[in-house]
Amino acid sequence: MLKVWLRAVRIRFLLASIISVTLGLAINSWQNNTFDIGFAVLTFVGVAALHASVDLLNDYWDYKRQIDTDTQRTKFSGGTGVLPEGLLKPQQVYRAGMLMLIIGSAVGAFFIFERGITIAVILGFAIVSIYFYSTRIVDSGLGEVFVAIKGAMIVLGTYFVQSSHVTVEPVIAGIVSGVLSSTVLFVNSFPDYDADKKHGRKTLVIVLGKDKASSVIWIFPGIIYGIIVTGVISGIFPVLSLMTLATIPIAVKAAISLKKNYEDVAGLVPVMERFVTFGRITGALFVVSFLVGMILKTPQ
């Protein structure tokens, strides 16, 4: 049963939020040379719970709307399959999603008490957007925007919990982290195009059409690398952040493959895997750049 629940919370995609938390911690350590391990652990717990809540509620609503029963599931798209396969009951998944939302909110409430109104704003956005993500938000074509904002807020919130103030570094770095996650979401919605459209969902790929969307993909890495390079030039990020440029070949190969395979579900599987790899490695290298910068006493 544990294996089924780990599958239901899409444990492999949890890494994106873990990287965002780690990035916030790394920026704080680089900039302020401080680290509260207790607050860090609580942040990981709270963010993991909120992330799991999104995925569980998304599985529930996609099953109720028959989206997941009409699409060809892959290991990166089409939901987890636990409901179509009868491994769990819909109400179990819904209740688990709400429980995770409550746990994440409770952690956030503690940080509101400790850090004040800034965390309240971030938590309020998280609660509302998580609950309505699989219905209102994605149906409006705003899924990628939500995920980008979510990633940015995780980085900023983590930084604020540690430092009690806001600076430009975690805000700009958070945008990078958020866009990395939204890139994966964007690509992973290609195989679900027909089922999503049939049942009233309006993803960005549906809004653009698959052909145009497969060309628009270049904008995502352009934003990511553009922000990082600009950040380094302006002195916002350490020079070592340029190590993220090492993933350019992965992004280029993945984008070219997407253009060739966007109509073929089987062909999209390695494409989605490449974009997940691109996101994880780029995010990890970005974190490492701040940690090494701290160790080497890289000037701000």
pLDDT digits (tens, 9 = 90+) for 162-213: 999 999 999 999 999 999 999 999 999 999 999 888 888 888 999 999 999 9
Question: Is 298 a residue whose pLDDT tops 70?
Answer: no
Q: How many residues does the chain have?
A: 300
pLDDT digits (tens, 9 = 90+) for 23-37: 999 999 999 999 999
Dihedral class, residue 297 (left if φ above 0, else alpha if ψ from -120 to 50, else beta): left
Q: What CATH code is assigned to 7-295?
A: 1.10.600
117-133: average pLDDT: 89
Report helix, strand and coil shares of the chain as percent, to nearest 5: 80, 0, 20
**Residue % of the chain over a pLDDT of 90:** 76
**Domain residue ranges in the chain:** 7-295
- Report d(CA 148, CA 179) in Å as an integer: 5
pLDDT digits (tens, 9 = 90+) for 49-106: 999 999 999 999 999 988 888 888 888 888 888 999 999 999 999 999 999 999 999 9
- Report d(CA 251, CA 285) in Å as an integer: 14
Q: Is pTM beyond 0.85 here?
A: yes
Please give the pLDDT value at position 299: 47
Question: Is 300 a residue whose pLDDT tops 50?
Answer: no
pLDDT digits (tens, 9 = 90+) for 237-254: 999 999 999 999 999 999
Please give the pLDDT value at position 297: 67
Please give the pLDDT value at position 53: 95
36-54: average pLDDT: 96
